Amino acid sequence: MENINLRSLEVQQQVIRRLNDAVLGAVSRKGYFKVLSHELRRLFPHDRLAINLYDSDVEILTYFTTADGVVVGAQSSVRQASPQTVAGLAITSREPVVIRDLARQFKCQEDNPLAEAGLQASIAFPLIVRDAVLGTLHCSFRQEPPNLMDIVDFIATLTPFVSSGVDAILTRERLSMLGAGPQAVPPPPDLIEGPVFESAAMKAIMQQIRRVAPLEIPILIQGETGTGKTMIARYIHEQSRRAKFNFVKVNCPALVTTLFESELFGHAKGAFTGATSLRQGRIEMANKGTLFLDEIGELHLDLQSKLLQVLEENSFERVGESIPFKADIRLVAATNIDLVKSLREGRLRSDLYYRLATMIITIPPLRERREDIPVLVKRISGILSASMRVPDISLTMGIMRQLQEYNWPGNIRELRNLVSRMLIANAHRPLTLRDVQELLGGAPLALQESPASFPTLRQMEKRHIEKALSLAKGRVSGPESAAGLLGIPRTTLQYRMRKLGIAAPVKD
């Protein structure tokens, strides 16, 4: 193989162009991966190339398509995204990871599939789209190449384009499966049959939702992190006259001042440097449909006035244009913080609050509706077992009682995470009560307290941190946070959470 200068701008642009052409040509997963593999293999020798997809809700990895090169026999197609793995390191750091000696790096692990397959060095890159980790790209070698860092820099240049390509292919798959139009936002699988519940509290709430969903009034959904506010918002959209149009979600904390107008209103071609084509904003995409403002309480104060102006005037202009567009949208917002308190503290405009809070729906935490746990577990396990291609789980009365007695500080999101881990454990052997207790952090059954089941210090510490997170409504840092309640620095709390296997709170 000839010595190719990987730092050459011409070489980089050539590969990027071919990857983009593959996406525009509507290739399949295998077709896109084949183009990527071919382009890299002609530039430098390597022994294995793979792309993982990452599901942050359940913290699992699956293959984008079959890896190219060395077969890693012990590596399951569905794996937990442990921070101690190469992929886990790339996901948590959100930076390229370089492992020069796999056997030495993971010598404390009982099993290292890459090293066992004869691979010595591996590099991994997070694939990030819209500030979320979509997956990881891995390139591995039997022997460390002399130009390893050149290869790292070269692939790092490609990863934004690979991320966009993988995201485009996955989006196209979802839309094709649903028979949707090019702007449609597909609902998650657990919404196809609607929310499930058995508790009196949720029956009353769903009755309220069915009454207001057909109306055109704005709705504000309140609830702790992980209670399913986004799912309820989608359900409201599906039950309204706007169901055949788009449901468009805006993650308010992710909006920064410099990109706010472009993100919400769109921009014209040439409106600013980098605006190479016309772009529709979120409001235009939601025309005649529903605009969902997630975590509205965390929108910067300066941006609240701009959003309010559009809502009051029912029109907007793309950046770089002076043509007004009518905004025919149904407004649904969600928050996990006390907006009344935010009003008092001056962090939320009163006029925006009253615009949003025509109707307020409060979703109770899972610990206050334990009757819903069995039906939620059945629904979630059925969906995840099908997507992960593993056998569904059959739960005993003892296991179900254990699940109903647990406090669930992370609510439905934590339940979904646990069910995914139960499915992975069940794939190897039948699931037992002890397995579930260990997955929950060793929490013993209240009715079986005995010296043999007395909780360890590690278990007690985990429960104490989970209780603090629950009281702090999922906040790790800041005012009235879990770190503040525990009297420890934020970094110390995050370290202990990782050590104890406590899932970090994530916004709906």
What pLDDT digit, counting tens, does each position of 19-37 carry?
A: 878 877 767 888 899 999 9
Mean pLDDT across 299-322: 81
Query: CA-CA distance, 194 to 507, in Å (whole number)?
Result: 21
| pLDDT for res 446 | 37
**Joined tokens for residue 326:** 């009518």
Does residue 366 surpass a pLDDT of 80?
yes
Answer yes or no: are the C-beta atoms of 119 and 48 closer than 8 Å. Answer: yes
Q: Tens digits of per-residue pLDDT, 122-132?
A: 999 999 887 78
Confidence bin at 56 (pLDDT 50/70/90): confident
CA distances from 289 to 215, 231, 334 (A): 13, 16, 17
Helix (H, G, I), strand (E, B) or coil at 133: strand
The end-to-end CA distance of the chain, in Å, is: 49
Neighbouring-strand partners of residue 138: 50, 124
Q: Tens digits of per-residue pLDDT, 190-205?
A: 444 567 888 989 999 9
Q: CA nearest 64: which of 74, 53, 72?
A: 53
Q: Which backbone phi and psi does 492 adopt, to 5 degrees? A: -65, -40
Helix (H, G, I), strand (E, B) or coil at 248: strand
Query: CA-CA distance, 72 to 84, in Å (whole number)?
Result: 18
Q: Of the given ranges (122-131, 266-275, 451-460), which has the lowest mean pLDDT?
A: 451-460
The number of residues making up the chain comes to 508
